[in-house]
């Protein structure tokens, strides 16, 4: 248990060893944050993943008997936060489950297949706990339709659900006790993998956050922000506006090193123009890491060989992921190699990059079998052209 303010506690769980969060690679683990607010009425904000139920209950019991809880607020139906809701409810016979109308209500009923003691709220709803009150701020699609932030007055503590989260497991609970380099990198990775498709909704959530002037921000994952609020809020400003910097990513996979040689030549060309460039081989870099690197990059070049008249499957998987995330305002380029099927990989990459919302360069660079020195020079030149577009 960690005290946040008078009568406000973190009672969540720490998942130190989690390395895969439905495909999102989490090298630093994560936490499932739950918060307890004590007043005349007692509220528990969120539960934890069902695997960590006993850890949650042990922390709650450090503060009070769970049977005293009056409200169980679900800020988000996703099972890492509501997964132990039914088990917790069994310990809190008088508790009502507070959820956002429609999507929250329907989502919880559909997950738990049982009649829950629901109390629905919407934008502008408040709930008095005695001397203090909770107000509810739905932020649909950041990241599920039912996400809502909860604001505690007069303490000015904002429970921000998916906003400002980071997948890190730490023994520290606050930003000012933690490694800020790690937190900001993980907050960026979280934004890129979870919130990227919804910049408009996230910008609205940020606006609402700024208007509330919170003293502490308590997200669903990772540490709480109290010492470096301007830093995380400014970062969300940049990300929701889609701000980029002169940086390119070259992402490829390869069978017999032809596409790899092309990728390396592209990197050389980009770097020759003084533009920062990052190279990822899809055989060794995971998708969640790559899109974190893409977040503030201005351009993305993707390369693939042909396998059975198709893209190499890891490249197809990356492009599928990218189409879901829809990164806006970036330049795209395609390259690749082939044997006897023709240059279909480059065409397919260009199509997918356009569908993902990138502004795709016309140039097509497809090499048969192994690139000649002249063809590698053409790759360097494409890299230079891309870098000039980035600078221009």
CB 353 within 8 A of CB 320: no
Nearer of residues 137 and 250 to Fe ion, judged by Cβ? 137
186 binds Fe ion (CB under 5 A): no
Q: Least distance (Å) from Fe ion to the CB of residue 245? A: 27
Residue 262 backbone dihedrals phi, psi, to 5 degrees = -65, -45
Scanning 219-227, 283-291, 297-305, 377-385 for contacts with Fe ion by CB under 5 A, the matching segment is 219-227
CB 100 within 8 A of CB 73: no
Site for Fe ion in 53-112 (CB under 5 A): 78, 80
207 is an active site residue: no
Which residue among 24, 32, 35, 190 is the active-site one?
190
146 binds Fe ion (CB under 5 A): no
Binding letters toward Fe ion, positions 22-41, x by CB under 5 A: --------------------
Q: Least distance (Å) from Fe ion to the CB of residue 239? A: 16
Q: Least distance (Å) from Fe ion to the CB of residue 49? A: 9
68 is an active site residue: no
146 is an active site residue: no
Q: What angle do CA 90, 91, 95 make, to 5 degrees?
A: 85
Tell me which of 55, 105, 146, 162 binds Fe ion, using CB under 5 A: 162
Nearer of residues 42 and 49 to Fe ion, judged by Cβ? 49
As beta bridge partners, residue 252 has 281, 303
Tokens coding 300: 């993305």
Nearer of residues 22 and 113 to Fe ion, judged by Cβ? 22
Count CB neighbours of 64 within 10 A. 15
76 is an active site residue: yes
Which residue among 80, 146, 253, 293 is the active-site one?
80
CB 39 within 8 A of CB 155: no
Q: Least distance (Å) from Fe ion to the CB of residue 365? A: 39
162 is an active site residue: yes
Nearer of residues 107 and 269 to Fe ion, judged by Cβ? 107
321 is an active site residue: no
Which residue among 28, 52, 143, 280 is the active-site one?
143
Which residue among 55, 105, 162, 186 is the active-site one?
162
CA distance 67 to 62: 13
280 is an active site residue: no
In 3-state terms, what secondary structure has residue 73? strand
Which residue among 15, 46, 55, 78 is the active-site one?
78
143 binds Fe ion (CB under 5 A): yes
Handedness of CA 213, 218, 220, 221 (dihedral sign): positive
Q: CA 297 → CA 199, 229, 245, 288, 306, distances in Å?
A: 16, 24, 6, 15, 27
113 is an active site residue: no
Packed helices 313-325 and 344-355: angle between N→C axes, nearest 10 degrees: 20
Burial state string for 140-177 with b = 16 or more CB within 10 A and e = fewer than 16: bbbbbbbbbbbbbeebebbbbbbbbbbbbbbeebbbee
The residues carrying an active-site annotation are: 22, 76, 78, 80, 143, 162, 190, 221
**Residues near Fe ion (CB under 5 A):** 78, 80, 143, 162, 220
């Amino acid at each position: 248990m960690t005290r946040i303010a008078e009568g406000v506690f973190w009672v969540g769980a720490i998942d130190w060893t989690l390395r895969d969060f439905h495909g999102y690679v989490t090298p630093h683990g994560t936490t499932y944050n739950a918060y307890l607010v004590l007043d005349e009425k007692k509220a528990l904000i969120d539960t934890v993943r069902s695997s960590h139920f006993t850890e949650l209950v042990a922390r709650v019991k450090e503060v009070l008997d769970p049977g005293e809880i009056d409200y169980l607020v679900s800020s988000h139906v996703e099972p890492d936060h509501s997964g132990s809701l039914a088990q917790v409810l069994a310990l809190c016979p008088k508790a009502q489950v507070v959820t956002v109308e429609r999507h929250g209500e329907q989502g919880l009923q559909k997950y738990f297949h049982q009649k829950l003691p629901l109390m629905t709220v919407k934008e502008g709803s408040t709930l008095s706990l005695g001397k203090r009150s909770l107000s509810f701020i739905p932020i649909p699609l950041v990241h599920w339709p039912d996400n809502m932030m909860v604001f505690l007055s007069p303490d000015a503590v904002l429970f921000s659900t998916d906003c400002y989260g980071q997948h890190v497991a730490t023994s520290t609970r606050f930003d000012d006790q933690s490694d800020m380099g790690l937190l900001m990198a993980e907050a960026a990775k979280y934004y890129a993998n979870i919130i990227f498709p919804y910049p408009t909704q996230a910008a609205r959530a940020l606006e609402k956050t700024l208007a509330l002037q919170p003293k502490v921000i308590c997200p669903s994952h990772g540490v709480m922000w109290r010492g470096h609020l301007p830093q995380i809020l400014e970062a969300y400003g940049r990300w929701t506006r889609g701000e980029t910097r002169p940086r390119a990513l070259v992402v490829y996979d390869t069978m017999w090193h032809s596409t790899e040689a092309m990728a390396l030549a592209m990197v050389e060309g980009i770097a020759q123009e003084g533009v920062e460039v990052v190279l990822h081989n899809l055989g060794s870099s995971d998708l969640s890491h790559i899109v974190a690197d893409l977040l503030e990059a201005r351009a993305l070049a993707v390369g693939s060989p042909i396998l059975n008249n198709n893209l190499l499957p890891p490249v197809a998987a990356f492009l599928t992921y990218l189409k879901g995330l829809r990164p806006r305002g970036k330049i795209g380029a395609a390259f690749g190699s082939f044997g006897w099927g023709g240059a279909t990989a480059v065409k397919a990459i260009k199509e997918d990059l356009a569908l993902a919302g990138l502004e795709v360069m016309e140039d097509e660079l497809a090499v048969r079998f192994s690139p000649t020195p002249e063809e590698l020079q053409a790759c360097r030149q494409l890299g230079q052209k891309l870098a000039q577009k980035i600078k221009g």
